[in-house]
Structure 1
Amino acid sequence: MAGRRYRTAIVGAGGIAVAHVRALQGLAHRADLVAVADVDLGRARTFAERWDVPHAYDGVAELLDVQRLDLVHLCTPPEHHTPLALQCLRAGATVLVEKPPTLSLAEFDVLVAAEATSIAHVATVFQHRFGSAANRLRRMTAAGVLGRPLLATCATQWYRDDDYFAAPWRGTWESEGGGPTMGHGIHQFDLLLSILGPWRELTALAARQARPTDTEDVSMALVTFDNGALASVVNSVVSPRQTSTLRFDFENATVELEHLYGYDDRDWTLTPAPGHDALLAQWAAGADNVPSGHAAQFSAVFDALDRDEAPPVTTTDARRTMDFVASLYASAFIGDRVRSGLIGPDSPFATRMDGIGAPWKEPSIS
């Protein structure tokens, strides 16, 4: 029923939880943030006091037992996402999982199976899908007014120094699942995939150029899509001039985005091909200037729950992106192209993103 208020809780009181609580405060007419949980009860209490959250817990089991929740925001390190999401689903609480949703495709399929037997849902936080300009581009692409998509470029070139990786869960396959492909560039290429649709195959490279990590700090992929479009994807945490860019070359126009950690309509441009100047007016006509971000996605989540629908981004949507990640690593480490859907349950890249092992991994001494 429209206008329903949702009882929500945040699990994990680290940095990303601040983005969640701020977005929820802006949606206070739709959600009541009733509790926060963290393995460090002191940190949970400090977070609760700072943000005026009524209850703090040191475990999800007690949180779910005491509070009657509609929605749980998982803001923990990635290694904890799957077990915590399973607890939420068993309790009948829909769970909104920060990226990456799981450490592997196999883990993600566990969530898919659990969702199928629950009254609740799993959604992944890919907030770049939800700015008004991205929504407008999807509509215009689907309507065909831009012509066929021909070429795209997608680059997440960020900078994270050695100190950033001092947190013990960062930069490891076991706790973060991967490097910038999993934890940084995933937002940009998820937006790319949401615009261009199903991808067909890719050829990739990954390297550890400079950072003291087990994972890559740079990756690149060349991608073909079912609609015939070609794309390049770059993910980096070694780039001092930071930028996030997307460019789509359609038959009738080029559409470009440059930002860093979030965008609004002013960060996008449309350049019409000769003879298609009317597209400028169509682009401007839908300029609602809703920024990308957690608030935009949470609003869409509540809209879906009002309609008794699975909230965006669904497991079907997120699995396509996770398959892209696993396939990128497989291509880079095996040295061959990989087709969409090729990473089956028997593949080593299904259970771990590093699969057969990163080529820079030092051999163990027996």
Structure 2
Amino acid sequence: MNKTLRVGVAGVGIGAQHVDAYRELPEQFEVAALCDIDENKVREIAARYQIPQVFTDFSVLCQRDDLDLIDICTPSYLHASQTLEALNAGKHVICEKPAAGSLQEIDQLLTAESRSGKRVMPIFQYRFGHGVQKLKYLIEQGLAGPAYLTTVETAWRRKAAYYAVPWRGKWATELGGALVTLAIHAHDILYYVLGPVKSVFARTATKVNLIETEDCMCAALEMADGSLASLAVTTGSAVEITRHRFCFQGFTAESNHEAYRNTCDPWSFTGDTPEMTERINDALARFMPQPEKFVRQFALFHEALQHNTELPVTLADARASLELITAIYYSAQTSRDVTLPITPDHPNYDSWRP
């Protein structure tokens, strides 16, 4: 039976974009309640979307018997504790990034999810852009061959007004800087395409704004498949871009450079030979596009719940993302290479924050 899931969304900043996506899937989801500590703001958004229930207390939202799913879009430092609270209230959970503030916290969530019988899906909506989906399709068709080198750039602009929001730019509440809350999506695409990282060497700096956390980062990575990758992040770029470039034996793939839509079309795929380019074009002619970003991730979440299959994004995916963050910060703090995986005896297992 195709059950419509009743959703309560907590946090109406990015949460409003989630509501837009749910409204494109009316047979799968009904947004029945909104919650935010800013009562005027939450009532305004609720009126805009004609959502009947409004709350300012997250605990009250979780205790509603008429909700199946809590969607957490609150500030970063609340994500892990609110996910646990929602699970304990018997609700499925969707949670914005970062899913937790340490590897210890994400492991607690993995244990809690397993015990609860409910499902937790972290948000990594950029996986579902048509451009990166085409890349995945070409790899599945056997056209890529071994990876050589990947470069990922997140060059955005954030000025003082952005950090005027009280929880941003602080270790205790944002949990990190540009690495944690801005570039996390671009770096997840690296994992999504190539798999895990073997080792990391990184540098971080605070150059652009007067904040506690970093706003510039560069890292050199060795992937588990033997290929190399470089990551570069800044909030000081006058021209905002996000760029992925994957060099494989069979072809080179490059994203568009739009800061917030770079996993969507257009991407370029250039074969190492004219014959390979022809094979790529033939394969892409068979590619079947699906909805993108939040809409696709939410649709696949609903499908997984209905058929008891793997979620499109899992807490294990979020853990891999946080393990990379932990390794980058530890490398920057110690000026040493860091080998993954990071285990519970690692100095930064329970927190990457200084």
Shorter-chain-normalised TM-score: which range? over 0.9
Correspondent of 1:17 among 9, 15, 19: 15
Report the equivalent of 2:351: 352
CA contact (8 A) 1:74 1:95 kept: yes
The reply to whether residue 80 of structure 1 matches residue 81 of structure 2 is no
Counterparts in 2 of 1:106 and 1:264: CA distance versus 1, 3 Å: closer
Report the equivalent of 2:315: 315
Unaligned runs of 5+ in 1: 358-366
Report the equivalent of 1:362: none
| Cα deviations by residue, 1:93-142 (Å, 9 ceiling, x for unpaired) | 11111011112222111111111110111111011111233233223324
| Cα deviations by residue, 1:239-269 (Å, 9 ceiling, x for unpaired) | 1110000011010100110222124653211
Distance 1:347 1:107 in 2: 14
TM-score normalised by L of structure 1: 0.92
Identity among equivalent positions (%) equals: 31
Matched residue of 2:174: which SS? coil
Report the equivalent of 2:213: 215
Counterparts in 2 of 1:313 and 1:36: CA distance versus 1, 3 Å: same
Matches within 5 A, 1:141-160: 141-160=139-158
TM-score normalised by L of structure 2: 0.94
Correspondent of 2:58 among 57, 60, 84: 60
The reply to whether residue 294 of structure 1 matches residue 294 of structure 2 is yes
CA contact (8 A) 1:222 1:232 kept: yes
Report the equivalent of 2:114: 116
Which one is further off, 282-291 or 239-248? 282-291
Distance 2:322 2:168 in 1: 19
Counterparts in 2 of 1:169 and 1:353: CA distance versus 1, 3 Å: same
Residue 88 of structure 1, CA deviation: 0.9
Counterparts in 2 of 1:349 and 1:90: CA distance versus 1, 3 Å: same
Matched residue of 1:72: which SS? strand
Matches within 5 A, 1:231-242: 231-242=229-240
CA contact (8 A) 2:269 2:277 kept: no
Matches within 5 A, 1:44-193: 44-193=42-191
Report the equivalent of 2:304: 304
Matched residue of 1:277: which SS? helix
Distance 1:247 1:198 in 2: 17
Distance 2:352 2:267 in 1: 33
| Cα deviations by residue, 1:296-320 (Å, 9 ceiling, x for unpaired) | 2111211211212342211111111
Unaligned runs of 5+ in 2: none
What amino acid is the match of 2:267? W
Report the equivalent of 2:227: 229
